[in-house]
Amino acid sequence: MPAQEIALLPLFCYIQVPLAVLPCMEDKRTMIVRLAEGPLRTKFGTFLEVLYYDGQQEIVAIVMGDVHQGENVLCRLHSHCLTAHVFNSTECDCREQMELAQALIEQQGTGVIIWLDQEGRGNGHLALIKSRALQAQGLSQTAAYVQLGYAADARQYTRAAEILHDLGLLSVRLMTNSPHKIESLRAAGITIAGTQPLLLDPGDNAILRRRYADKIAQGHRIPL
């Protein structure tokens, strides 16, 4: 099948996309394209890694077990966090939440995690770096973003919902502390059968405790 090269300018790379999928990429209502899939071996067992493309960026879903037509399937929507996942930052719990989600899925035997490129609550890594100076002055992360002219939370979950539809899930048990994720998925037609909080003890980590207090103010269910 002939293919057309599409430039991903922010990443300075190219992918080959069959011409047959281009019409749906141009339709902004349905832009998810499944590009490839294969086994991914992790310390929490073997997942099926499924690579999607939405016309602008790649999105990865990792799936354990048979989730097609599944009900009450464990599901995590996880946003990219460079500092936590690559540099082992202690200023957030993103890496620990990912590990906890994978461990819970391994125990259950089935589940889905969707990795979204939404660094800095969807505002980008520049916003995250710039916000640190204001946080050092006592502002919460939310207040720092707003003062810098960014959205308090710019993350979107429409593409994640499309991927869940593509995988054929009937309902999910969402691993989250965030009411925003629940509301967004329900608005996109995903049935939420229940939720599974991901709770971690911040201990004496003062930065993480302030981060949790900020999230609680935004409606997250995090007991301190």
CA trace torsion 199, 203, 206, 212 (10° rounding)? 10
Report which secondary-structure segment, H or E, holds 99: helix 94-108
Nearest C-alpha neighbor of 154 from the set 190, 117, 187: 117
Q: Which residues are catalytic?
A: 153, 155
8 A C-beta contact, residue 116 and residue 78: yes
Return the closest-CA partner of residue 104 out of 17, 198, 212.
Answer: 198
Positive/negative CA dihedral, 179, 131, 92, 164: positive
Can you read off the two tokens belonging to residue 106?
């391994």
Beta-strand relationship, 73-79 and 172-175: parallel
Which is nearest to 219 in space by CA: 182, 188, 192, 189? 182
Cα dihedral sign, 57-102-153-138: negative
Per-residue tokens: 180: 């925003």
Cβ-Cβ contacts under 8 Å for 217 (sequence gap 6 or more): 140, 142
